[in-house]
Structure 1
Amino acid sequence: MQRPIGVIDSGVGGLTVVSELMRQLPKEEIIYIGDTKRCPYGPRPAFEVAEYTWEMIDYLMSRDIKLLVIACNTASAVVLDDARQALDIPVIGVIHPGAVAALKATENLEVGVIGTEGTISSGAYYEELKSIHNDVKVVSLACPTLVPLVESNRYTGEEAKAVIREALEPMLDYPVDSLILGCTHYPMIEREIQDVVGEDIHVICSGDETARAVSTLLYHEQLLYTGERRPRHLFYTTGAKAMFQSIAESWLKESGLDVRETDLKLPKATRKVKSGMEEF
Protein backbone atom coordinates (compact mmCIF):
# COMPACT_ATOMS: atom_id res chain seq x y z
CA MET A 1 0.00 0.00 0.00
CA GLN A 2 1.83 3.08 -1.26
CA ARG A 3 -0.31 5.73 0.46
CA PRO A 4 1.43 7.72 3.24
CA ILE A 5 0.92 7.78 7.00
CA GLY A 6 -0.41 11.11 8.28
CA VAL A 7 0.80 12.60 11.57
CA ILE A 8 -0.54 15.77 13.19
CA ASP A 9 0.59 17.78 16.19
CA SER A 10 0.14 21.23 17.70
CA GLY A 11 3.76 22.00 16.79
CA VAL A 12 7.11 20.22 16.64
CA GLY A 13 6.42 17.71 19.43
CA GLY A 14 4.99 15.06 17.13
CA LEU A 15 8.40 14.79 15.51
CA THR A 16 9.31 12.56 18.46
CA VAL A 17 6.68 10.11 17.19
CA VAL A 18 7.83 10.56 13.58
CA SER A 19 11.36 9.64 14.65
CA GLU A 20 10.14 6.29 15.98
CA LEU A 21 7.93 5.69 12.93
CA MET A 22 10.93 6.27 10.65
CA ARG A 23 13.02 3.89 12.74
CA GLN A 24 10.47 1.09 13.02
CA LEU A 25 8.84 1.50 9.60
CA PRO A 26 11.69 2.68 7.35
CA LYS A 27 9.81 1.97 4.10
CA GLU A 28 6.74 4.05 4.95
CA GLU A 29 6.23 7.63 3.74
CA ILE A 30 5.01 10.20 6.25
CA ILE A 31 3.16 13.49 5.84
CA TYR A 32 3.39 15.61 8.97
CA ILE A 33 1.58 18.78 9.99
CA GLY A 34 2.71 20.90 12.94
CA ASP A 35 0.35 23.77 13.79
CA THR A 36 3.19 25.86 15.17
CA LYS A 37 1.38 29.15 14.52
CA ARG A 38 -1.34 28.29 17.06
CA CYS A 39 0.76 26.20 19.46
CA PRO A 40 0.38 25.45 22.34
CA TYR A 41 -3.02 23.75 22.36
CA GLY A 42 -2.90 22.98 26.08
CA PRO A 43 -4.37 26.28 27.38
CA ARG A 44 -7.05 26.46 24.67
CA PRO A 45 -10.70 25.48 25.23
CA ALA A 46 -11.74 22.08 23.92
CA PHE A 47 -13.91 23.47 21.10
CA GLU A 48 -10.94 25.41 19.73
CA VAL A 49 -8.62 22.39 19.96
CA ALA A 50 -11.24 20.37 18.07
CA GLU A 51 -11.60 23.02 15.36
CA TYR A 52 -7.86 23.30 14.75
CA THR A 53 -7.34 19.55 14.87
CA TRP A 54 -10.05 18.90 12.29
CA GLU A 55 -8.47 21.47 10.00
CA MET A 56 -5.26 19.43 10.06
CA ILE A 57 -7.15 16.16 9.62
CA ASP A 58 -9.07 17.48 6.62
CA TYR A 59 -5.84 18.73 5.08
CA LEU A 60 -4.21 15.32 5.38
CA MET A 61 -7.29 13.43 4.23
CA SER A 62 -7.16 15.43 1.00
CA ARG A 63 -3.72 13.85 0.47
CA ASP A 64 -5.09 10.31 0.62
CA ILE A 65 -3.35 9.06 3.77
CA LYS A 66 -3.91 5.46 4.83
CA LEU A 67 -3.62 5.93 8.61
CA LEU A 68 -3.72 8.94 10.93
CA VAL A 69 -1.63 9.43 14.06
CA ILE A 70 -2.86 12.19 16.36
CA ALA A 71 0.51 12.82 17.96
CA CYS A 72 -0.70 15.64 20.21
CA ASN A 73 -1.88 14.50 23.63
CA THR A 74 -4.28 17.43 24.01
CA ALA A 75 -5.81 16.78 20.58
CA SER A 76 -5.97 13.04 21.32
CA ALA A 77 -7.91 13.73 24.51
CA VAL A 78 -10.42 15.95 22.69
CA VAL A 79 -10.81 14.50 19.18
CA LEU A 80 -9.62 10.88 19.03
CA ASP A 81 -12.98 9.17 19.63
CA ASP A 82 -14.81 11.42 17.16
CA ALA A 83 -12.11 10.94 14.52
CA ARG A 84 -12.33 7.18 14.82
CA GLN A 85 -16.08 7.36 14.31
CA ALA A 86 -15.93 9.79 11.40
CA LEU A 87 -12.97 8.68 9.30
CA ASP A 88 -12.75 5.70 6.99
CA ILE A 89 -9.08 5.01 7.87
CA PRO A 90 -7.47 3.77 11.12
CA VAL A 91 -6.74 6.48 13.71
CA ILE A 92 -4.22 6.15 16.55
CA GLY A 93 -3.62 8.50 19.47
CA VAL A 94 -0.71 8.63 21.91
CA ILE A 95 -2.47 8.32 25.25
CA HIS A 96 -3.21 4.57 25.26
CA PRO A 97 0.33 3.61 24.12
CA GLY A 98 1.82 5.84 26.82
CA ALA A 99 -0.38 4.29 29.50
CA VAL A 100 0.54 0.76 28.38
CA ALA A 101 4.25 1.56 28.47
CA ALA A 102 3.98 3.02 31.99
CA LEU A 103 2.17 -0.02 33.34
CA LYS A 104 4.84 -2.25 31.84
CA ALA A 105 7.53 -0.26 33.63
CA THR A 106 6.04 0.45 37.05
CA GLU A 107 6.83 -1.83 39.99
CA ASN A 108 4.90 -0.05 42.74
CA LEU A 109 1.87 1.00 40.64
CA GLU A 110 2.57 4.67 41.41
CA VAL A 111 2.56 6.51 38.08
CA GLY A 112 3.15 10.20 37.47
CA VAL A 113 1.89 12.10 34.43
CA ILE A 114 3.09 15.49 33.22
CA GLY A 115 1.43 17.32 30.33
CA THR A 116 -0.27 20.47 29.16
CA GLU A 117 -3.16 22.04 31.05
CA GLY A 118 -5.60 20.62 28.50
CA THR A 119 -4.30 17.06 28.71
CA ILE A 120 -4.12 17.02 32.50
CA SER A 121 -7.53 18.65 33.05
CA SER A 122 -9.14 16.15 30.66
CA GLY A 123 -8.19 13.28 32.97
CA ALA A 124 -7.43 11.21 29.86
CA TYR A 125 -4.33 9.48 31.26
CA TYR A 126 -5.97 8.81 34.63
CA GLU A 127 -8.96 7.21 32.92
CA GLU A 128 -6.80 5.21 30.51
CA LEU A 129 -4.51 3.90 33.25
CA LYS A 130 -7.47 2.99 35.47
CA SER A 131 -9.23 1.24 32.58
CA ILE A 132 -6.23 -1.07 32.27
CA HIS A 133 -5.34 -1.57 35.96
CA ASN A 134 -7.72 -0.82 38.83
CA ASP A 135 -5.01 -0.54 41.48
CA VAL A 136 -2.73 1.99 39.82
CA LYS A 137 -2.29 5.32 41.63
CA VAL A 138 -1.92 8.35 39.36
CA VAL A 139 -0.40 11.74 40.13
CA SER A 140 -0.88 14.36 37.41
CA LEU A 141 0.90 17.68 36.95
CA ALA A 142 0.37 20.38 34.32
CA CYS A 143 3.62 21.94 33.09
CA PRO A 144 2.59 24.89 30.90
CA THR A 145 6.10 26.34 30.59
CA LEU A 146 7.66 23.36 28.82
CA VAL A 147 6.01 23.44 25.38
CA PRO A 148 6.96 27.10 24.73
CA LEU A 149 10.52 26.18 25.74
CA VAL A 150 10.71 23.51 23.03
CA GLU A 151 8.83 25.46 20.35
CA SER A 152 11.20 28.42 20.74
CA ASN A 153 14.21 26.11 20.26
CA ARG A 154 15.57 27.21 23.65
CA TYR A 155 15.42 23.82 25.37
CA THR A 156 19.13 23.37 26.04
CA GLY A 157 21.42 25.17 28.44
CA GLU A 158 21.27 26.24 32.07
CA GLU A 159 18.26 28.54 31.69
CA ALA A 160 16.22 25.70 30.19
CA LYS A 161 17.27 23.34 33.00
CA ALA A 162 16.07 25.86 35.58
CA VAL A 163 12.66 26.13 33.88
CA ILE A 164 12.32 22.34 33.73
CA ARG A 165 13.31 21.88 37.37
CA GLU A 166 10.80 24.50 38.53
CA ALA A 167 8.01 22.91 36.49
CA LEU A 168 8.66 19.40 37.84
CA GLU A 169 9.33 20.25 41.47
CA PRO A 170 5.80 19.46 42.77
CA MET A 171 6.05 15.93 41.34
CA LEU A 172 9.12 15.17 43.47
CA ASP A 173 6.97 14.95 46.63
CA TYR A 174 5.27 11.75 45.41
CA PRO A 175 6.61 8.16 45.42
CA VAL A 176 6.07 7.52 41.70
CA ASP A 177 8.44 5.09 40.03
CA SER A 178 7.28 5.82 36.47
CA LEU A 179 6.66 9.20 34.85
CA ILE A 180 4.68 9.52 31.62
CA LEU A 181 5.75 12.38 29.38
CA GLY A 182 2.16 13.23 28.49
CA CYS A 183 3.11 15.66 25.75
CA THR A 184 5.02 14.74 22.61
CA HIS A 185 7.20 17.83 23.01
CA TYR A 186 8.68 16.50 26.24
CA PRO A 187 10.90 13.73 24.83
CA MET A 188 13.01 16.52 23.35
CA ILE A 189 13.94 17.38 26.95
CA GLU A 190 13.86 13.80 28.27
CA ARG A 191 17.47 13.88 29.48
CA GLU A 192 16.87 17.07 31.46
CA ILE A 193 13.66 15.65 32.93
CA GLN A 194 15.48 12.46 33.94
CA ASP A 195 18.15 14.55 35.67
CA VAL A 196 15.48 16.31 37.74
CA VAL A 197 13.47 13.24 38.80
CA GLY A 198 16.48 10.94 39.24
CA GLU A 199 17.65 7.75 37.60
CA ASP A 200 15.36 5.55 39.74
CA ILE A 201 12.29 6.87 37.91
CA HIS A 202 11.27 5.27 34.62
CA VAL A 203 10.63 8.14 32.19
CA ILE A 204 8.05 7.01 29.65
CA CYS A 205 7.87 8.38 26.10
CA SER A 206 4.85 7.30 24.08
CA GLY A 207 6.59 7.49 20.69
CA ASP A 208 8.09 3.99 20.76
CA GLU A 209 4.84 2.30 21.84
CA THR A 210 2.81 4.41 19.38
CA ALA A 211 5.03 3.34 16.48
CA ARG A 212 4.59 -0.30 17.51
CA ALA A 213 0.82 0.18 17.51
CA VAL A 214 0.99 1.73 14.03
CA SER A 215 3.12 -1.14 12.74
CA THR A 216 0.77 -3.76 14.18
CA LEU A 217 -2.33 -2.08 12.80
CA LEU A 218 -0.85 -1.62 9.32
CA TYR A 219 0.10 -5.31 9.28
CA HIS A 220 -3.33 -6.54 10.36
CA GLU A 221 -5.11 -4.21 7.93
CA GLN A 222 -2.73 -5.28 5.12
CA LEU A 223 -1.65 -1.67 4.62
CA LEU A 224 2.11 -2.07 5.02
CA TYR A 225 4.30 -0.95 2.14
CA THR A 226 6.63 -3.79 1.13
CA GLY A 227 8.15 -2.46 -2.10
CA GLU A 228 11.59 -1.09 -2.86
CA ARG A 229 11.02 2.68 -3.10
CA ARG A 230 13.00 5.17 -1.06
CA PRO A 231 10.47 7.02 1.12
CA ARG A 232 10.01 10.76 0.65
CA HIS A 233 8.62 12.45 3.73
CA LEU A 234 6.78 15.77 3.65
CA PHE A 235 6.50 18.23 6.54
CA TYR A 236 4.04 21.12 6.80
CA THR A 237 4.12 23.93 9.34
CA THR A 238 1.64 26.75 9.86
CA GLY A 239 4.36 28.93 11.38
CA ALA A 240 7.93 29.91 10.61
CA LYS A 241 9.48 27.43 8.18
CA ALA A 242 13.10 28.15 9.16
CA MET A 243 12.52 27.47 12.87
CA PHE A 244 10.55 24.31 12.17
CA GLN A 245 13.18 23.02 9.73
CA SER A 246 15.99 23.66 12.19
CA ILE A 247 14.27 21.73 14.97
CA ALA A 248 13.10 18.92 12.65
CA GLU A 249 16.50 18.33 11.07
CA SER A 250 18.19 18.40 14.46
CA TRP A 251 15.74 15.96 16.04
CA LEU A 252 15.42 13.58 13.07
CA LYS A 253 19.16 13.82 12.30
CA GLU A 254 18.48 14.43 8.61
CA SER A 255 19.32 17.41 6.45
CA GLY A 256 17.40 18.76 3.47
CA LEU A 257 13.95 17.78 4.77
CA ASP A 258 11.05 18.83 2.54
CA VAL A 259 9.39 21.45 4.79
CA ARG A 260 6.58 23.67 3.51
CA GLU A 261 4.36 26.34 5.01
CA THR A 262 0.58 25.97 4.89
CA ASP A 263 -2.48 27.88 6.08
CA LEU A 264 -4.48 24.61 6.11
CA LYS A 265 -7.13 26.10 3.84
CA LEU A 266 -8.74 23.78 1.29
CA PRO A 267 -10.88 24.80 -1.71
CA LYS A 268 -13.63 22.61 -0.28
CA ALA A 269 -14.01 20.26 2.65
CA THR A 270 -12.73 16.81 1.81
CA ARG A 271 -13.22 14.79 4.96
CA LYS A 272 -13.57 11.10 4.17
CA VAL A 273 -16.05 9.43 6.46
CA LYS A 274 -17.37 5.99 7.07
CA SER A 275 -20.29 4.82 5.02
CA GLY A 276 -23.65 6.06 6.26
CA MET A 277 -22.30 9.12 8.07
CA GLU A 278 -22.64 12.72 6.97
CA GLU A 279 -19.96 13.92 4.57
CA PHE A 280 -18.66 17.44 5.09
Structure 2
Amino acid sequence: MELEDVNSRPIGFFDTGVGGISVLKKTLEILPNENYIYFGDSKNAPYGVRPLEEVKKLTFNAIQLLLDKGCKAIVVACNTATSAAIEDLRKEYKHIPIIGIEPALKPAVEMRKKGKILIMATPLTLAEKKFSNLVKVYAKDSVIESVPCAGLVEIIEKGTLEGKELNRFLKQKLAKSLKTDIAAIVLGCTHYPFIRKELQKVVGKAVSIIDGSEGTARELKRKLEEKELVNTSLSKGKIEILNSSEEEFLVRYCYKLLELKEH
Protein backbone atom coordinates (compact mmCIF):
# COMPACT_ATOMS: atom_id res chain seq x y z
CA MET A 1 0.00 0.00 0.00
CA GLU A 2 1.34 3.44 -0.94
CA LEU A 3 2.17 5.96 1.78
CA GLU A 4 -0.55 8.32 0.58
CA ASP A 5 -3.15 5.56 0.98
CA VAL A 6 -2.00 4.83 4.55
CA ASN A 7 -2.01 8.51 5.48
CA SER A 8 -5.57 9.02 4.27
CA ARG A 9 -6.87 6.20 6.45
CA PRO A 10 -9.17 7.29 9.28
CA ILE A 11 -8.25 7.82 12.92
CA GLY A 12 -10.42 5.75 15.25
CA PHE A 13 -12.00 7.33 18.32
CA PHE A 14 -13.57 5.19 21.01
CA ASP A 15 -15.69 6.02 24.03
CA THR A 16 -18.37 4.29 26.08
CA GLY A 17 -20.93 6.64 24.56
CA VAL A 18 -21.07 10.27 23.49
CA GLY A 19 -18.37 11.56 25.87
CA GLY A 20 -15.39 11.15 23.54
CA ILE A 21 -17.04 13.59 21.16
CA SER A 22 -15.58 16.32 23.42
CA VAL A 23 -12.09 15.04 22.55
CA LEU A 24 -12.90 14.62 18.86
CA LYS A 25 -14.25 18.19 18.77
CA LYS A 26 -10.94 19.56 20.06
CA THR A 27 -9.01 17.28 17.70
CA LEU A 28 -10.89 18.67 14.69
CA GLU A 29 -9.52 22.11 15.57
CA ILE A 30 -5.94 20.79 15.59
CA LEU A 31 -6.16 18.16 12.80
CA PRO A 32 -9.01 19.29 10.50
CA ASN A 33 -7.78 17.41 7.41
CA GLU A 34 -7.87 13.93 8.93
CA ASN A 35 -10.65 11.39 8.43
CA TYR A 36 -12.29 9.99 11.56
CA ILE A 37 -14.41 7.05 12.66
CA TYR A 38 -16.02 7.47 16.07
CA PHE A 39 -17.43 4.46 17.88
CA GLY A 40 -19.55 4.85 21.00
CA ASP A 41 -20.42 1.73 22.98
CA SER A 42 -23.60 3.13 24.52
CA LYS A 43 -25.15 -0.35 24.57
CA ASN A 44 -22.71 -1.34 27.33
CA ALA A 45 -22.37 2.04 29.06
CA PRO A 46 -21.51 3.10 31.64
CA TYR A 47 -18.14 1.36 32.00
CA GLY A 48 -17.27 3.22 35.20
CA VAL A 49 -19.32 0.91 37.42
CA ARG A 50 -18.30 -2.39 35.72
CA PRO A 51 -15.62 -4.85 36.93
CA LEU A 52 -12.12 -4.14 35.60
CA GLU A 53 -11.78 -7.29 33.47
CA GLU A 54 -15.15 -6.64 31.85
CA VAL A 55 -14.08 -3.09 30.96
CA LYS A 56 -10.87 -4.46 29.42
CA LYS A 57 -12.77 -6.98 27.31
CA LEU A 58 -15.27 -4.39 26.05
CA THR A 59 -12.45 -1.96 25.25
CA PHE A 60 -10.48 -4.55 23.28
CA ASN A 61 -13.62 -5.44 21.30
CA ALA A 62 -14.20 -1.79 20.43
CA ILE A 63 -10.59 -1.20 19.37
CA GLN A 64 -10.65 -4.31 17.18
CA LEU A 65 -13.79 -3.02 15.47
CA LEU A 66 -11.98 0.23 14.60
CA LEU A 67 -8.86 -1.58 13.42
CA ASP A 68 -11.00 -3.81 11.19
CA LYS A 69 -12.18 -0.59 9.54
CA GLY A 70 -8.60 0.31 8.63
CA CYS A 71 -7.83 2.96 11.23
CA LYS A 72 -4.20 4.16 11.20
CA ALA A 73 -4.28 5.37 14.83
CA ILE A 74 -6.59 4.97 17.80
CA VAL A 75 -7.68 7.44 20.46
CA VAL A 76 -9.20 5.88 23.57
CA ALA A 77 -11.30 8.95 24.36
CA CYS A 78 -12.55 7.54 27.65
CA ASN A 79 -10.84 7.98 31.01
CA THR A 80 -12.24 4.73 32.41
CA ALA A 81 -11.15 2.63 29.43
CA THR A 82 -7.74 4.34 29.40
CA SER A 83 -7.19 3.58 33.08
CA ALA A 84 -8.29 -0.02 32.69
CA ALA A 85 -6.76 -1.07 29.39
CA ILE A 86 -4.30 1.34 27.75
CA GLU A 87 -1.14 -0.53 28.77
CA ASP A 88 -2.52 -3.88 27.58
CA LEU A 89 -3.71 -2.31 24.32
CA ARG A 90 -0.27 -0.92 23.55
CA LYS A 91 1.33 -4.30 24.21
CA GLU A 92 -1.16 -6.05 21.93
CA TYR A 93 -1.16 -3.50 19.08
CA LYS A 94 2.46 -2.36 18.90
CA HIS A 95 2.20 -1.52 15.20
CA ILE A 96 -0.21 1.38 15.66
CA PRO A 97 -0.26 4.59 17.73
CA ILE A 98 -2.75 4.29 20.60
CA ILE A 99 -3.41 7.48 22.53
CA GLY A 100 -5.26 7.52 25.83
CA ILE A 101 -6.61 10.31 28.00
CA GLU A 102 -6.01 11.11 31.64
CA PRO A 103 -7.26 13.82 34.00
CA ALA A 104 -5.55 17.16 33.26
CA LEU A 105 -4.13 17.48 36.75
CA LYS A 106 -0.84 19.07 35.74
CA PRO A 107 -2.32 22.30 34.28
CA ALA A 108 -4.64 22.58 37.29
CA VAL A 109 -1.71 22.39 39.72
CA GLU A 110 0.40 24.79 37.65
CA MET A 111 -2.28 27.48 37.99
CA ARG A 112 -1.27 27.71 41.66
CA LYS A 113 -4.61 29.13 42.74
CA LYS A 114 -5.78 29.19 46.33
CA GLY A 115 -7.91 26.21 47.33
CA LYS A 116 -8.16 22.50 46.64
CA ILE A 117 -8.31 20.76 43.28
CA LEU A 118 -11.30 18.50 42.71
CA ILE A 119 -11.20 15.61 40.26
CA MET A 120 -14.64 14.54 39.08
CA ALA A 121 -14.62 11.07 37.50
CA THR A 122 -16.29 7.67 37.42
CA PRO A 123 -15.72 5.33 40.39
CA LEU A 124 -13.55 2.94 38.33
CA THR A 125 -11.27 5.70 37.03
CA LEU A 126 -10.71 6.93 40.58
CA ALA A 127 -10.06 3.40 41.88
CA GLU A 128 -7.42 2.50 39.29
CA LYS A 129 -3.69 2.42 40.05
CA LYS A 130 -2.99 4.65 37.05
CA PHE A 131 -5.04 7.39 38.69
CA SER A 132 -3.49 7.03 42.15
CA ASN A 133 -0.01 7.21 40.59
CA LEU A 134 -0.98 10.43 38.82
CA VAL A 135 -2.25 11.98 42.05
CA LYS A 136 0.95 11.03 43.91
CA VAL A 137 3.01 13.07 41.46
CA TYR A 138 1.17 16.27 42.33
CA ALA A 139 -0.11 15.68 45.88
CA LYS A 140 2.94 17.37 47.41
CA ASP A 141 2.06 20.64 45.66
CA SER A 142 -1.72 20.75 46.08
CA VAL A 143 -4.66 19.40 48.07
CA ILE A 144 -6.37 17.03 45.63
CA GLU A 145 -9.80 15.60 46.31
CA SER A 146 -11.63 12.91 44.33
CA VAL A 147 -15.32 13.28 43.60
CA PRO A 148 -16.92 10.02 42.33
CA CYS A 149 -19.82 10.88 40.03
CA ALA A 150 -21.68 7.62 39.44
CA GLY A 151 -24.83 8.43 37.47
CA LEU A 152 -23.58 11.55 35.70
CA VAL A 153 -22.68 9.73 32.47
CA GLU A 154 -26.24 8.37 32.24
CA ILE A 155 -27.69 11.87 32.65
CA ILE A 156 -25.49 13.20 29.82
CA GLU A 157 -26.14 10.19 27.58
CA LYS A 158 -29.87 10.85 27.62
CA GLY A 159 -29.28 14.42 26.41
CA THR A 160 -29.50 16.43 29.63
CA LEU A 161 -26.71 19.03 29.52
CA GLU A 162 -28.24 21.74 31.73
CA GLY A 163 -31.28 22.48 33.87
CA LYS A 164 -32.71 21.76 37.32
CA GLU A 165 -32.19 17.96 37.36
CA LEU A 166 -28.51 18.29 36.51
CA ASN A 167 -28.05 21.26 38.85
CA ARG A 168 -29.46 19.27 41.78
CA PHE A 169 -27.26 16.29 40.95
CA LEU A 170 -24.09 18.40 40.85
CA LYS A 171 -24.90 20.23 44.09
CA GLN A 172 -25.43 16.88 45.80
CA LYS A 173 -22.13 15.42 44.55
CA LEU A 174 -20.19 18.58 45.44
CA ALA A 175 -22.00 19.40 48.71
CA LYS A 176 -18.97 18.91 51.01
CA SER A 177 -16.50 20.52 48.63
CA LEU A 178 -18.61 23.64 48.15
CA LYS A 179 -18.06 24.48 51.84
CA THR A 180 -14.32 24.95 51.18
CA ASP A 181 -12.17 26.98 48.77
CA ILE A 182 -11.97 25.33 45.34
CA ALA A 183 -9.15 26.35 43.02
CA ALA A 184 -10.05 24.21 40.07
CA ILE A 185 -12.09 21.23 38.94
CA VAL A 186 -10.50 18.63 36.70
CA LEU A 187 -13.01 16.76 34.56
CA GLY A 188 -11.84 13.15 34.65
CA CYS A 189 -14.46 11.81 32.24
CA THR A 190 -14.84 12.84 28.61
CA HIS A 191 -18.61 13.15 29.04
CA TYR A 192 -18.27 15.90 31.61
CA PRO A 193 -17.13 18.85 29.41
CA PHE A 194 -20.63 18.90 27.96
CA ILE A 195 -22.10 19.96 31.31
CA ARG A 196 -19.45 22.64 31.93
CA LYS A 197 -22.01 25.46 31.72
CA GLU A 198 -24.21 24.02 34.48
CA LEU A 199 -21.20 23.04 36.59
CA GLN A 200 -19.87 26.60 36.39
CA LYS A 201 -23.22 27.85 37.72
CA VAL A 202 -22.90 25.52 40.71
CA VAL A 203 -19.27 26.31 41.65
CA GLY A 204 -19.06 29.94 40.53
CA LYS A 205 -17.06 31.75 37.86
CA ALA A 206 -13.91 31.97 39.98
CA VAL A 207 -13.36 28.19 39.82
CA SER A 208 -11.36 27.00 36.81
CA ILE A 209 -12.74 23.94 35.00
CA ILE A 210 -10.19 21.91 33.05
CA ASP A 211 -10.34 18.79 30.89
CA GLY A 212 -7.77 16.70 29.01
CA SER A 213 -9.10 17.10 25.46
CA GLU A 214 -6.47 19.49 24.14
CA GLY A 215 -3.56 17.54 25.61
CA THR A 216 -4.86 14.34 24.01
CA ALA A 217 -5.37 16.01 20.62
CA ARG A 218 -1.85 17.44 20.67
CA GLU A 219 -0.36 14.07 21.65
CA LEU A 220 -2.19 12.48 18.72
CA LYS A 221 -0.75 15.09 16.36
CA ARG A 222 2.75 14.49 17.73
CA LYS A 223 2.43 10.72 17.27
CA LEU A 224 1.16 11.09 13.70
CA GLU A 225 4.07 13.38 12.84
CA GLU A 226 6.55 11.02 14.49
CA LYS A 227 5.21 8.05 12.48
CA GLU A 228 4.83 10.16 9.30
CA LEU A 229 1.11 9.37 9.22
CA VAL A 230 -0.29 12.91 8.86
CA ASN A 231 -2.89 13.27 6.11
CA THR A 232 -1.38 15.90 3.80
CA SER A 233 -4.60 16.38 1.85
CA LEU A 234 -5.78 19.98 1.78
CA SER A 235 -9.43 18.97 1.83
CA LYS A 236 -11.38 18.83 5.09
CA GLY A 237 -11.65 15.32 6.50
CA LYS A 238 -14.79 13.17 6.83
CA ILE A 239 -16.37 11.94 10.05
CA GLU A 240 -18.28 8.68 10.44
CA ILE A 241 -20.11 8.05 13.71
CA LEU A 242 -21.07 4.54 14.84
CA ASN A 243 -22.80 3.36 18.00
CA SER A 244 -23.45 -0.10 19.43
CA SER A 245 -26.91 0.94 20.61
CA GLU A 246 -30.00 0.68 18.42
CA GLU A 247 -31.06 4.13 19.65
CA GLU A 248 -30.83 6.24 16.47
CA PHE A 249 -30.97 9.35 18.66
CA LEU A 250 -27.39 8.75 19.84
CA VAL A 251 -25.76 9.16 16.43
CA ARG A 252 -27.76 12.35 15.78
CA TYR A 253 -26.82 13.53 19.26
CA CYS A 254 -23.12 13.06 18.49
CA TYR A 255 -23.33 15.15 15.33
CA LYS A 256 -25.24 17.79 17.29
CA LEU A 257 -22.52 17.88 19.98
CA LEU A 258 -19.93 18.28 17.23
CA GLU A 259 -22.10 21.05 15.78
CA LEU A 260 -22.11 19.23 12.44
CA LYS A 261 -24.83 17.95 10.15
CA GLU A 262 -25.01 14.18 9.69
CA HIS A 263 -22.68 12.98 6.94
TM-score, scaled relative to structure 1: 0.85
| CA RMSD between the two structures | 1.9
Alignment partner of 1:155 is 2:161: yes
CA distance in 1, matches of 2:116, 2:52: 29
> Given the alignment of the two structures, is residue 13 of structure 1 paired with residue 19 of structure 2, yes or no?
yes
CA deviations 1:205-243 (Å, max 9, x no partner) are 111221111112212222111112331111110113422
Aligned counterpart in structure 1 of residue 234 of structure 2, from 228, 233, 245: 228
Aligned counterpart, 1:103: 109
| 2:4 counterpart residue number | none
* Secondary structure in structure 2 of the residue aligned to 1:37: helix
Q: Which residue of 1 aligns with 2:182?
A: 176
Are 2:131 and 1:94 equivalent residues in the alignment? Answer: no
Q: Which residue of 2 aligns with 1:255?
A: 261
Unaligned runs of 5+ in 2: 1-6
* Aligned partner of residue 177 in structure 1, secondary structure: strand
Q: AA paired with 2:30?
A: Q
Query: 1:29-50: CA deviations, max 9, x gaps?
Result: 1111100011101110001100
State how far apart, in whole Å, the 2-side matches of 1:230 and 1:254 are: 13
SS at match of 1:95: coil
Residue 58 (structure 1) shift? 0.7
TM-score by length of 2: 0.90
**Structure 2 CA distance for partners of 1:114 and 1:245, relative to 1, 3 Å:** same
In the alignment, what sits opposite 1:42? Answer: 48
> What is the distance in 1 between the residues matched to 2:180 and 2:145?
8
* 106 and 193 in structure 1: CA distance in 2 versus 1, 3 angstrom threshold: farther
8 Å CA contact 2:162, 2:197 repeated in 1? no
Determine the structure 1 residue equivalent to 2:244.
Answer: 238
Report deviation, 1:131: 3.1
Matched, 1:202 2:221: no
